[in-house]
A and B are shown apart, each in its own frame.
Chain A
Amino acid sequence: MFARWANLASGIGLVGACTLLLVAGRSEGRTASGWEAGVLGWSRALVLLAFASGLVALGAQTAFLEGHPASALQPAAILRVLLETQGGAMWLVRQALLLLLAAFLVARANVEEGADWRAARSESAALAIAALVPLAGAGHAAASEPGTAIAIVIDLAHLAAAGLWIGGLPALAALLRAAAHDRGADARPYAVRAVRRFSRLALASVGVLVATGIPGALRFVPTVGGLVGTRYGRLLLVKLALVLPILVLAWLNRRRLLPALAGDDPTAGSPVMRRLAGLVLVEALLGLLILAVVAAMSLTLPALHEQPVWPFGFRFSSAALLAAPDGRNRVLIGSSITVLGAVLALCALRLRASRVSVAASAAAVAALGLGVALPPLAIDAYPTTYVRPPIPYDVASIASGERLFQQHCAPCHGLGSAREGPAARGLPRSPADLLAPPTRAHTAGDLFWWTTIGFPRNGMPGFGDRLSDEERWDVVNFLRALGVSRGARTLPARLGVERPWLAAPDFVFGVGPMQRTLGEYRGQRTVLLVLYTLPGSQARLAGLAAEHNTLTRFGLEIIAVPTDAAPDALRRFGAAVRILYPIVTEGAADIVTAYRQFTDAPHTEFLIDGQGYFRTRWTSNEPGRDVEQLLVDVRRLAAEGAITVTPPAH
């Protein structure tokens, strides 16, 4: 951890120091020249630190990859890591660039001429930035897919911007401190020019840091649960908490102290310069703390891959309004007040006079608005609320969940549309209606918590000691399917203007020895899933077979599933009816069990778009739907492309 921090901090510091020399321009006078020599010495020390911490980090990485600490000192093991891993290749490139940079910094070259000075300083800055590339190429960004190259470029831009700003602060503080002293008065015009140029560069760097930090954070911490419920997310919060005071300090320095330096007069602004030097040093120390947090983050599993543990007993969700619709007006009024606060805050930014009082009023109004709007949105939350189901939302899990539900839950909750089973009598409160909308509004993690711990005040027992984790997730997946069953039955028979909202559970199906999954068609084709019953469906299936070529041309795959799950489904058609689209002979039973939540008809056709959402549902109980109409819908879907986020597989 310390080696990572030292490696990162030295890399960032090198970029800042080398760039500040270039930005400040060629030094004139005794003090400025002394400062330039000092910064060069500081850079040499940083290169040494970067090299040494790199060696320690390589040893630690070798020990980690080889599985025992002694490997850190074994040349063969180190060589394996260097030559056979991406991290090793990046390490070699970084050390080579550092060596080259060291050569430039150590060589006592003659830079009397302006062009030579610029060439030497530019090369140092360029090499320092180039040495950050391998850091980005060996971090979390390099391991993220898809979009690895973009993630690395974003990470590199973030590191470089941090280097230009945070890395330059110690050297800048040293210049200001030297110039603020009576003996260094000759360097004041130089220091004022340097700090002004640096300030512009830092402002641009902050813009880059924000622009690259947001996509980076969203990539690795995509949910609120991940932000407060994982170690990586909490480290990100600590980092942001440290960034805030550093930004406030930077803003104060730029708005208050920088103008007070007042021109290039040699005697001007000495006390201000001393104060500015102190505050810049505080900024630099905060920056070092941020780098320590970043080093810890680089050694922590990103929130994306960790199951979050929600630390609060409540969360905010619009689902709360489903149970208590009276709160809608309060939320509306509160959010309007919050917007008013935001408008006031924007006005405060534009104002010159009374800015502080207007900003304080804006904060008070926004807080009042949130105080009004948020309470009705609060609902109970549990440690598992944001846990991602480890078991995929597929028909095998749903079918297993239904079997477990019938055995353990139906005695109280009832079966099908019945709200109560025989054992519900005598309970303190009626069992929850699992078909009601609030069930749909809860997260899978909420359902898992209730299934595990129970609902003691309602008399519901927990099943944590009777069912395994996997079985409880199966029950949860069944409840998720049950929760959307009413809505699924209202899906239109023709493609309308509704946004897709209901994900089709994935399944594995076999046609003889060929095995495929519904998920394989995502991003490739639209699927018409046909649940059929012979002999009633025979004519319809033959009609689809006749138009199969045309439908295929427009990106449709038909998958037909016999509702009786007959393994000899193909033979039943005989040679007379030539059907060449997949007729499922393996896996039909689970598909029918799960999809029966969405239909009772003997023949149902679900049109599933390229993203895996149900779009239409037509049953044989409804008026006939000719293949021409189907073709129109398929063509519309083919032209539509992705119009919402792809549903998760879990």
Chain B
Amino acid sequence: MRVRTVVLLVNLALMIGLGCGYLWWGREARRLARQVAAVETGEREYTADGIIRAVLPELRVLVVTHPEIPGYMPPMTMGFRVSTSLRTIEVGDTVRFTARGTPPNMTVVAVDKKTP
């Protein structure tokens, strides 16, 4: 076999190897992305600590400043719809709350005041 043919075949093999590796890498990345997406869909429940910033009983909304809720939300101040009683909750209260639903439609189903 001529040398130039050998060189051509070797380079072709290297390129095919690189291409297959690249495709395998991409397929793995897509598979992992699908797994993550599958985990992220469906109804979920999160419990977190927070501090009450505003209570809007007429809208049944509670505005809470909370730390990062792993897998759901970074630290922020945010309004949540509430399905539980708001009568004893006041601005400045430190609470532990539970939100349930399919993101982004989450509803706070429990709010417990923490003792200062």
Contact = CB atoms under 8 A, between A and B. Distances in A.
B4 A512 contact: no
B56 to A, nearest CB: 9
A581 B11 CA distance: 61
Contact of B65 (A514, A568, A571): A514
A116 B3 CA distance: 5
A115 B2 CA distance: 10
Contacts of A116: 2-4
Given A512-B50, A580-B54, A580-B77, A568 B92 contact: yes
A515 B53 CA distance: 15
Nearest to A567: B116
B55 interface: yes
Nearest to A579: B53
B90 A514 contact: no
Contact of A582 (B8, B54, B65): B65
Given A568-B92, A571-B91, A571-B92, A109 B53 contact: no
Contacts of A512: 49-51, 65-66, 94
Given A512-B50, A513-B67, A516-B75, A575 B90 contact: yes
A570 B92 CA distance: 5
Contact of B49 (A513, A573, A581): A513
B7 interface: yes
A521 to B, nearest CB: 12
Contacts of B109: none
A574 B10 contact: no
Interface string A507-528: 0000111111000000000000
A513 B94 contact: yes
A581 B65 CA distance: 9
A119 B7 contact: yes
Contacts of A111: 3
A425 to B, nearest CB: 50
Contacts of A511: 51, 65, 77
Interface in A534-589: 568, 570-571, 573-575, 578-582, 585
A305 B55 CA distance: 50
A100 interface: yes
B63 interface: yes
A128 B66 CA distance: 57
Interface in B75-116: 75-77, 90-92, 94
Nearest to A120: B3
B92 A123 contact: no
Contacts of B91: 570-571, 573-575
Given A511-B51, A575-B90, A100 B4 contact: no
Nearest to B2: A116
Interface residues of B, number: 25
Interface string A320-352: 000000000000000000000000000000000
A391 to B, nearest CB: 25
Nearest to A577: B91
Contacts, number: 72
A118 B4 CA distance: 8
B6 interface: yes
A621 interface: no
Contacts of A514: 50-51, 65-67, 75-76
A264 B26 CA distance: 56
Contacts of A644: none
Contacts of A100: 10
Nearest to A575: B91
B3 to A, nearest CB: 4
A570 B53 contact: yes
Contacts of B50: 512-514
A2 B94 CA distance: 63
A110 interface: yes
A571 B2 CA distance: 87
A107 to B, nearest CB: 8
Contacts of A585: 51
Contacts of A513: 49-51, 66-67, 94
Nearest to B90: A575
B54 A578 contact: yes
Interface in B34-75: 49-51, 53-55, 63, 65-67, 75
A120 B4 CA distance: 7
Interface string B9-42: 0110000000000000000000000000000000
Contacts of B63: 580
Interface string A439-481: 0000000000000000000000000000000000000000000
A602 B90 CA distance: 28
A142 B54 CA distance: 49
A259 B98 CA distance: 85
A575 to B, nearest CB: 5
A123 B49 contact: no
Contacts of A113: 2
A109 B77 contact: no
A582 B63 CA distance: 12
Contact of B7 (A110, A120, A571, A573): A120
B20 to A, nearest CB: 15
Contacts of B7: 119-120, 122-123
A491 B63 CA distance: 36
Interface of A: 100, 109-111, 113, 115-120, 122-123, 511-516, 568, 570-571, 573-575, 578-582, 585
25 contacts: A109-B3, A116-B3, A117-B3, A119-B7, A120-B7, A122-B7, A123-B7, A123-B11, A511-B77, A512-B51, A512-B65, A512-B66, A513-B66, A514-B50, A514-B75, A515-B67, A516-B75, A570-B51, A575-B54, A575-B90, A579-B53, A580-B53, A580-B54, A580-B77, A581-B77
Given A119-B8, A579-B53, A581-B77, 11 more contacts: A113-B2, A123-B7, A123-B10, A511-B65, A512-B65, A514-B76, A568-B92, A570-B91, A571-B92, A575-B54, A580-B63
The 5 closest A-B pairs by CB, nearest first: A512-B51, A571-B92, A119-B4, A570-B92, A116-B3
